Structure 1
Amino acid sequence: MTRLAAPLITLGLAMLGAASPLAAADLEAGKSKAALCAGCHGENGISPMEYTPSLAGQPDLFIQWQLVFFRSGTRQNASMRPFVDDLSNEDIRNLGAYYASLPPMRNSKPDDDPELSRKGAQAAAGRRCASCHTDNYAGTKATARLAGQREEYLIKALNEFKSGQRSGGAMAAMADVAYPLSEEEIYALAHYLAHL
């Protein structure tokens, strides 16, 4: 056993020494590539367009996976198609790191309907949204940040998950959560999350 173990350990150490670490993401390259995204997703990742998500502060892996889903066609969006077709894996890694490094969108408007937010908080607790999106809804790893996202975009996304129109990533989990939601719950959830 010792005769066999020594060569295997030596081989393993040699392979570790020979393996090159993954290159760190290049934030400047990500910022440069993000200039193409700014028309819809906004300067510094804060979207000025209705039904278009803000990307600032989204988790790195979430951005990367969504870009992979768009590029592969698993997730469909005609507006995204021309931008993702030519993205390299390195571009995707850089974009994920860049958007994750930006301060997230903060809703500057006061909550004009606290009762709707209260219902949204109840719906979020009842559907256990925090179990994936974290207690403060900032997202983690490949799970989206919801706090402060555009309200009308959240309504759109929840309706797409509910109808089965949206796929890629956590589709099965989100479909299970969204399918039984009433229209009122969807609006309440979106309002609550947008004002966090």
Structure 2
Amino acid sequence: MRWQFISHAIRAVALLALGALPANAADAAAGKAKAEICAGCHGENGISQTENIPSLAGQPDQFLQWQLVFFRAGSRKNEQMQPIVEEINNEDIRNLGAYFSQLAPPKVQEDKDPDLSKKGAQAAAGRRCASCHTDSYAGTKAVARLAGQREEYLVKALHDYKTNQRVGGAGAAMADVAYSLSEEEITALAHYLAHLQ
């Protein structure tokens, strides 16, 4: 009960913070300039080459903005992100969302284990993942793109949701989905999604 209250309170604060964003149009060029600091971890053009660091390229604009708000509000925690988000304002958040969302998503590697992908597709269908993340798993609005994301990062994210280490946004829905996943299903699901274009 306490966790649910905290989760709802965090979402309310985030909604207020996002609602306070001025209505000015986002500037992707300004976002590109601001994103230079992001490249050290998230890679050039938002395509991560670092284990357990997600690619940002091609993520939906609103999703990116929400995650930055959650980090800045402290509901999502990460040692590397905290000092960065303390230095960005609402305009920066809008601009970064606009910039990363217009970049081409990562190109996927050849799937060398199609049987594992088949199991992952079954796990995704059984958990109705497409009902939020879309049939192509490209995400929409405030819902993450999963297609082409780093495989080990997807495993980490599912574990974080399963153990309530990650909150913010659809945390309750994701925790509910991830809680019942076996380790084999997590591995298969991450493999399947990482190899979708």
TM-score between both structures, scaled by the size of structure 2? 0.88
1:163 corresponds to which residue?
A: 163
The one-letter amino acid of 1:63's match is L
Q: State the 1:60 CA deviation.
A: 0.1
1:115 corresponds to which residue?
A: 115
Partners of 1:38 and 1:62 lie apart in 2 by: 19
Can you give the 5+ residue segments of structure 2 that lack an aligned partner in the other structure? Answer: 1-21
Q: State the 1:110 CA deviation.
A: 1.2
Partners of 1:125 and 1:99 lie apart in 2 by: 28
Give the total of aligned pairs. 175
The one-letter amino acid of 1:156's match is K
**Runs of at least 4 residues off by over 4 Å:** none
The one-letter amino acid of 1:71's match is R
Give CA deviations for 1:121-178 in whole Å, capped at 9, x if unaligned: 0000000000000000000000000000000000000000000111111100000000
1:30 corresponds to which residue?
A: 31
Partners of 1:106 and 1:136 lie apart in 2 by: 15
The one-letter amino acid of 1:125's match is A
1:192 corresponds to which residue?
A: 192
Q: Secondary structure at the match of 1:147?
A: coil
Question: Is residue 40 of structure 2 the alignment partner of residue 39 of structure 1?
Answer: yes
Partners of 2:126 and 2:28 lie apart in 1 by: 38
1:81 corresponds to which residue?
A: 82
Partners of 2:92 and 2:29 lie apart in 1 by: 11
Q: State the 1:22 CA deviation.
A: 2.3
Percent of paired sites with the same residue: 73
State the superposition RMSD in angstroms. 0.8
Partners of 1:136 and 1:91 lie apart in 2 by: 29
Question: Is residue 173 of structure 2 the alignment partner of residue 173 of structure 1?
Answer: yes
1:55 corresponds to which residue?
A: 56
Give CA deviations for 1:76-95 in whole Å, capped at 9, x if unaligned: 11110111001100000000
1:154 corresponds to which residue?
A: 154
Q: State the 1:23 CA deviation.
A: 1.5
The one-letter amino acid of 1:164's match is N
TM-score between both structures, scaled by the size of structure 1? 0.88
Partners of 1:184 and 1:97 lie apart in 2 by: 36
Partners of 1:52 and 1:40 lie apart in 2 by: 7
1:144 corresponds to which residue?
A: 144
1:14 corresponds to which residue?
A: none
Partners of 2:148 and 2:174 lie apart in 1 by: 19
Which deviates more, 137-146 or 78-87? 78-87
